[in-house]
Chains A and B, each alone.
Chain A
Amino acid sequence: MYEIKMPRFGLTMESGFIEKWFKKEGEKVKEGEPLLEVSSEKITNEVVSPASGVLLKIMGKEKEEIKVGTVIAFIGEEGEKIKEIKKEKVKLEKITKTAETKKTPSVKVAPPKRGGRIKASPLAKKIALEKNLDLSSIKGTGPDGRIEKKDVLLYLSSVSENNAEFKIEKLSGLRRTIAERLSKSFHAAITLTNTTEVDFTEFKRLMKENKVSITSGLVFFLSKVLKELNKFNAHFDYDKKEIIIYNNANIGIAVDTEKGLIVPVIKNVDNLSLETINRKIKELAYKAREGAISENDIKGSTFTLTNLGMMRTEIFTPVINPPEVAILGIGRIVKKPVIVDEDKISIRDLAYLSLSYDHRIIDGADAARFLGKLAKLIENPALKLKGVKRKTL
């Protein structure tokens, strides 16, 4: 018999949140087959079966947070008996048993009450408990209005349609982490945002020529500015009143995935060529979207870049990713008439850069300087690309 324990994805992981079981109790599993999905505070990973056999018992239910190392399931041979294991759930947080979608149906139903007691079959009660449903909102069709399994299932299917007034969803592990981190950042930092409109015409052309993305180019130039204004390439420890300034830039890139925001990190950007940066970003973004990202991939960023350029947003106020001190946002690149060479009008590619910064550490003038330097590089990209790039310059 194999005990499946809550895995540890990284050194700091103390508990895991069971997102989903791919197998049911009694189902056969093969070694290496995905068994369940677990998320830590940072990432969501698939856990594969360490052995072939039958999934005898699931101790850790979906949407439960469980301590690392605790037995969450048993795999063995059919009919094997399981010794009783006490489940140690994390006590720090009260996690409701399930996070099934709960909605109120638009059709109002009279609860099948008599003398204040709701009649329901044992099985119906059990399912309702598992699915976190309120029996009083389910109409019973059995004898004397007793709620039966079919009534609970009907209710479940009706509420999953779009006829509900609203729905309540429990946050997934990843969303909870995002919420916690951002609220911490927002309440702690004194966040201001400076914006400036930058001419991307030349930059865009060069990136296209070099077959790299706008984001890759920005990361490349950002690292140059961060080197000069290294105050931005830092972590802030308010309790110790210390700023840790890093020599090398690890730039986090916000990636929009189905499950929410993930920020993979390109390490030591200073030492990387534009092509390497481009390749790394592609790899990490792919991994993030496929849910295959490792904890190491999202660790240790010193500055974050968020690009909403592919969507319809020009100016926005990004929220700092703590313990960093600033974050740069870029909006959509739009063609606009611009006055060039004193009195000539030309059509150029323009976009806004939005730099949010923690005013406890960085002043408005610092931010303006940062944006100024970056804008200058973007508007004259050949200056910096010289020597790094092969052709075109």
Chain B
Amino acid sequence: MAVADRREFLQHAGAFLLLTGTAAAAWEHVLAGQPESAPGYDASAHWWAWIIDVERCIGCGLCVKACKEENGVSLEPSYFRTWIERYEVDPDDPDHPHVTSPNGGYDGFPESTKPGVKTFFVPKLCNQCADSPCVQVCPVGATFQTPDGVVLVDKDYCLGCRYCVQACPYGCRFIDPETHTADKCTLCYHRITKGLKPACEEVCPTGARYLGDLKNPKDPIHEYLRTHKVHVLKPQMATHPKTFYNGLDGAVR
């Protein structure tokens, strides 16, 4: 009888240990999938979208600087979460615009040397596509879309295969030279989930960027979209970007 009890005890103890171990491992995975803790932020109650006003951008580069500083982006000139392009479009030859982005516009732009052309600045950043090719192609799901419509990268999970970088039609992704994982604009997720503005919007002196919440009926973005003729980049890609440009010239790609 005592032997049977001991066997029973060992069986129960074994099952308990096995199950709690499995449960703990599973729980770890559940936690790993959670966004950064942000008390009071309900991701499913928001749907973020950008308004970029080309007419207002003066190419000062403060947004580029602020982004790099806020997010610890490498200062090397081929890694940008946001950058600015200057278009110089000859009205007689709109198919061949002269485009420059020295150091992503980090230091601003030298004076244009092309008289008689149409000149304007275009801020670029992740378009937060609703149907993101980058999310589609990630082999392990390290790139994902949050319930509030933000495309993020789980750096602890990304393999660094670079397929997502190839899949982005807008050139918005790069491989972080420090972590060797994919990197891109996060909409400053650590800030917006605390009720703050993204760093680039915060510092823009002309208000060329505005991040709005399409799920908030009181957000001025609704009024803006109703009263302005906006456009998205490369609509033919059918990625359904949530970055709307006001005053976008047809030459921009």
Our verdict on whether A and B bind, yes or no, reads no
List residues of chain A with CB under 8 Å of any chain B CB: none
List residues of chain B with CB under 8 Å of any chain A CB: none
